[in-house]
Chain A
Amino acid sequence: MMLIKNARVIDPSQNLDAERDILIENEKIKAIDKPGSFDSLKIQNAVDAKGLIATPGFVDVHVHLREPGLEHKETVKTGTTAAVHGGFTSVASMANSDPANDNARVTRYILERSCEAAMARVFPIGAVTKGLKGEMLADIGLMVEAGIRAISDDGMPIMNSLLMRRAMEYAKMFDIPVISHAEDLNLSQGSPMNEGAVSALLGYSGNPNASEEIMVAREIALARLTGARVHIAHVSTKEAIAQIKAAKESGVKITAEVTPHHLCLNDEFILSGKHTCSHSHGKTDYKMAPPLRSPADQTALAQALESGLIDMVASDHAPHGCVDKEVEFELAANGILGLQTTVPLLLGLVHEKKLSLKRMVESLTVAPAKLLGISEIGTLKPGSHADITLLDLSEEWTLTLEHLVSKSKNSPFTARKFKGRVKKTWVGGQLKYDSSK
């Protein structure tokens, strides 16, 4: 048995925000009660968390672990190590490995690798179409039997509406969500950044907000038609937020996520960013898909997260090596690391009063756990997994390259000063990260 004492426990799944002791037994939560309640048990293995915040271990529904096939960028081991360093105890891995996770053999391989090497729980996401090609459905049902929790072609959006309809109808039988990277590829025309004043100035072709708005509208229409659950990945535009609001009000089964970088950055960073790329923090670390949008979109995203219109935060952790990022802006790979910076960035928003602590925790626990359909994570209710994250709200620190335990270093946030830090992470009652060590 193990005890975490005197923590301020924030668990939105049971509407709890109070000082509590947490009792853990056999990798599960045994009980939560007022401080001192378990003192009579005389537990040797006790952690005093006075002044710290304990939450259910965080859940990230959008992570690229890169295994199999892209192990030079990240592996199950390094990616999940980054996860627990960032307070995440469960991650859902996107299907764009090489080969893609489009059949049960690959799903089983990822789960085997997770058993052998993972520091956090891994829930594979299956491909919607074979080889992410947008042509033929992948073995969705067989992958569900093997363990996938959602399907998505992520960065390879399905342009064929009939195929997407079929995918939703099919996924509905297995009660898994279809995750959509909403981008009209004809309209975005491979542009390296947002269309706006900055793209005009720099002469880059621009990806307009409308490319996201159009596809979100299509996904809503198809979800309404099929009754399937659709989840909009990394919402980046105020127009998409408006669509999601209307869809939710009309009863469509839709959820949405936002990334910390779309909450904390905008396309003006591309203007000021330096091109120097001593392994990280170059201008290309501001390049992602969807692109960083305008400051107005950035503001709208934070408001939508706080109001609950956007259900959850996902990191879109996308490791890339130097050779993918130390290149011309237009040729650079999309995406940045996220697992270790998501929580500190969100705590920054909490300090700026743009986000409540309750909504922050909710968006990292109950909401993503519900999307994946797993009741034993994202909560501290007795009987659930003893996955716990311990936070210090006020510790000030600076992120350096050395902190990044991911195999890749593509983060625009190195050298950034943070207030608030992940102190300890337990997965199934096992201490997987301790900031003091």
Chain B
Amino acid sequence: MFPESLSRLKAVLTTRDLNSEQIEGFLSAASQIKKNPESVAQTLKGKTILQFFVENTTRTRMSFETAVRKMGGMNVGFATASSSFSKGETLLDTVRTIRQYGVDAIVMRHSSGESPKFIHENLNLPVINAGDGQHEHPTQALLDAFTLQEVWGSLKNKTVLILGDILHSRVARSNIHALTKLGVNVILCAPNTLLPKDLSLFPKVEVTHKLDEVLSKADAVMCLRIQFERQSQNYFPSKHEYRHFWGLTVERAAKLKPNTYILHPGPMNRGLEIDSEVADSKHSLILKQVENGVWVRMAVLGGILR
């Protein structure tokens, strides 16, 4: 079930570091697990997974914890909204301490970019990045690819439009790498203020701020969450204006090709980046993404820990 290409992985930190064979390996394992979850019910038996979430979150943590339980493993948790821990302990000391309790792997969410890599390289423990700053969220990209693969069969030569706050989005970064490795044409659309200036180290993607010009090219639209505080930081003048130019409204959805799928990593701001009618339409894969998240995370846990 878990191909040879995955057994060398000691961590899943970015999709940038995964090759297409490894990405396809995870997707294929997820597909088999989804068909027959019982086959991996004992894979993590006797293993303890630290769910280390140093940032507010619900869904990703629940998804990972569910995945561990379905594979017979045990979760231990640690959650805090703040990266400055009580008593001034450093991140490294905190994880060093917890490791002594006996931990086989760490699932880690942290507000600072590359901190899962920092922990992995210093403590030599398997680490799965559950979102680090604005850097990457590799399991989200894998579950997005898995969800699209389910409806399309193959992703090759499809076009995915990623719409919204690219600048601050770890979901966008992980998806750019993962999707292009699977043969997808990626289009990024955002106001200039929410786009990185220099994308030369990324795989080739199309970039635009003119949403209406690219709508008809998309086979799927991945809509990103817009955080309200971006408005007070002057990334755009108002929610109203954002919706006017970049919202995935009912009117815009009508300009999409008939079979264009809609994705959103959640949590959604209905009426801002996406209209309810679009989010709940028959082409929406948003709830499928949530469900598939568990299968994909089981594949990732099994891939590096079996």
A residues near B (Cβ < 8 Å) are 195-206, 208, 271, 274-277, 283, 323, 326-331
- Kindly identify which residue among A203, A274, A275, A276 contacts B170, using a CB–CB cutoff of 8 Å: A203
Q: Report the Cα distance A200→B198, complex, angstroms.
A: 7
Contact A329 B122 (CB under 8 A): no
Q: Report the Cα distance A283→B199, complex, angstroms.
A: 22
Contact B92 A327 (CB under 8 A): yes
Contact B118 A328 (CB under 8 A): yes
Q: Which residues of A contact B90 (CB under 8 A)?
A: 323, 326-327
Contact B134 A328 (CB under 8 A): no
21 CB contacts below 8 A, A to B, read A195-B198, A197-B198, A200-B196, A200-B201, A200-B202, A201-B173, A201-B202, A202-B113, A203-B168, A203-B170, A203-B173, A204-B135, A205-B134, A208-B197, A275-B114, A275-B122, A283-B118, A326-B92, A329-B112, A329-B113, A331-B83
Q: Which residues of A contact B202 (CB under 8 A)?
A: 200-201
- Kindly identify which residue among B112, B122, B173, B201 contacts A198, using a CB–CB cutoff of 8 Å: B201
Q: Which residues of B contact A330 (CB under 8 A)?
A: 112-113, 133
Known pairs A275-B122, A329-B114; A200 contacts B133 (CB<8 A): no
B225 CB–A CB distance under 8 Å: no
Contact B201 A203 (CB under 8 A): no
B residues near A (Cβ < 8 Å) are 16, 83, 90-92, 110, 112-115, 117-118, 120-122, 132-136, 168, 170, 173, 196-202
Binding site of B, secondary structure by majority: helix, strand, loop or mixed?
A: loop
Q: Which residues of A contact B114 (CB under 8 A)?
A: 202, 275, 283, 328-329
Q: Can you name the residue of chain A whose Cβ is closest to the Cβ of B172?
A: A203
Known pairs A276-B122, A277-B122, A328-B83; A203 contacts B112 (CB<8 A): no
Contact A276 B92 (CB under 8 A): no
Q: Which residues of B contact A274 (CB under 8 A)?
A: 121
Q: Return A209 CB to nearest CB of chain B, in Å.
A: 11
Q: Return B233 CB to nearest CB of chain A, in Å.
A: 9
Known pairs A328-B115, A329-B113, A329-B114; A200 contacts B121 (CB<8 A): no
Q: Which residues of A contact B92 (CB under 8 A)?
A: 326-327
Q: Report the Cα distance A208→B197, complex, angstroms.
A: 10
Contact B200 A197 (CB under 8 A): yes
Q: Which residues of A contact B121 (CB under 8 A)?
A: 274-276
Q: Return B143 CB to nearest CB of chain A, in Å.
A: 19
Having A195-B197, A200-B198, one finds 8 other A-B pairs with CB under 8 Å, namely A200-B201, A203-B113, A203-B168, A276-B121, A327-B92, A328-B91, A329-B113, A329-B115
Q: Report the Cα distance A202→B196, complex, angstroms.
A: 11
Q: Can you name the residue of chain A whose Cβ is closest to the Cβ of B173?
A: A203
Q: Which residues of B contact A201 (CB under 8 A)?
A: 16, 173, 201-202
Q: Return B196 CB to nearest CB of chain A, in Å.
A: 3
Q: Which residues of B contact A271 (CB under 8 A)?
A: 201
Q: Return A286 CB to nearest CB of chain B, in Å.
A: 12
Q: Can you name the residue of chain A whose Cβ is closest to the Cβ of B118?
A: A275
Q: Return A385 CB to nearest CB of chain B, in Å.
A: 44
Q: Report the Cα distance A266→B113, complex, angstroms.
A: 19
Q: Which residues of B contact A198 (CB under 8 A)?
A: 201
- Kindly identify which residue among A208, A323, A331 contacts B112, using a CB–CB cutoff of 8 Å: A331
